[in-house]
Amino acid sequence: MEHPSDAVVRRLHPLLVEVRDALVRGLAVSRAIHAEHGWQPGADRHLDHQLVRREAMERLRPYAEHHDHPFGTQLELLEPANENLGLPMSGLILRTPTEVLRVWHSDDGELPAAETQGLRDFYAQGPTAQLHLQLALDAVPGDPGRRDHLALLWADARTPGSDPELVRLDLVRPRGSTGRRVDVDWHVGLLDRLRSSPAA
C-alpha cells in the first residue's frame, strides 16, 4: 500500500530537486565568502544560513518568473517582486497550487517549536488519513483552495577540503501542535529518493 507521502514526493519531485540543488549552491557561496574573509562559519551560523538562503532564493526565482520551467508561474516565492527574500532566520517559503512548502535548516531533524501564532497556524491541519476519510465519506466538504502545509528540513556537513554536502533533506507534514510541541503526520528522508526517478 502506498504511503501518503509517496504521491506528494512524486508530484513535487522536480521542485524538490531544484530546492536541493539551490541549497547546495547556497552552501558553496557561503563557504566561498567565509573563506575569502577568513571567517569561521561556526562562529556565526545565522550569517551562514542567511547566505545559503540568499543564493538559494536567487536560484529558485526563475521558477516564479518564467513559463518554461516545470512549475512555471504556478510556483510563488514569498513576495518575489521585492527584496524580501523569504522568511527570516534562513527560512524560505514556496507555494505551488497544492502546497505551501517552508524550508528550514534543522540539525536535529525537528520542526521549529510552535512558539508563535504564525507557526501554530501553519502546523494546524488534520492528518492525511482523516482528510482522505472525510473526502471519501463526504462528511466534511473539502476546501479546494486549501493548500497542504509541508516543511523541508535540511542540514549540511562542514568537512574542511570537501565539497558542500547536504546530510539531511527531509519532507515533513505537520498535523497540529500541543503547546510548543509539533505533532507530525509523516516524515520522510529525501536524499536517496531524489537520486532515483520520480516514480520510485
82 in a structural domain: yes
Top pLDDT among 68 and 192 is at: 192
Whether residue 168 lies inside any domain: the answer is yes
The type of residue at 131 is L
Reference 101, options 24, 11, 168; nearest CA is 11
- Asked if the model's pLDDT at residue 131 lies above 60, the reply is no
Output the pTM of the full model: 0.83
Q: Is the pLDDT of residue 139 over 80?
A: no
DSSP class of residue 43 equals G
pLDDT in tens, 42-85: 788 888 888 998 899 888 888 777 666 666 556 677 544 444 44
Which domain, by its residues, includes 189? 4-195
Residue 175 lies in a domain: yes
- Does 72 reside within a domain? yes
Place of cell 508561474: 73
pLDDT digit string (tens) for 85-107? Answer: 444 444 788 888 889 999 999 99
Higher pLDDT, 181 or 130: 181
Average pLDDT estimate for 173-197 = 93
DSSP letter string over 62-116?
A: HHHH-SSSSSGGG-EESSTTSS--S-STT-EEEE-SSEEEEEEE-SSSPPPPS-S
9-42 pLDDT tens trace: 999 999 999 999 999 999 999 999 999 999 987 7
- The answer to whether 152 touches 16, Cβ cutoff 8 Å, is yes
In a domain, 200, yes or no: no
The residue with greater pLDDT, 200 or 23, is: 23
Cα dist from 103 to 6, 19, 87, 150, 163, whole Å: 19, 9, 9, 9, 22
Share of the chain above pLDDT 90, in %: 50
Specify the number of domains making up the chain: 1
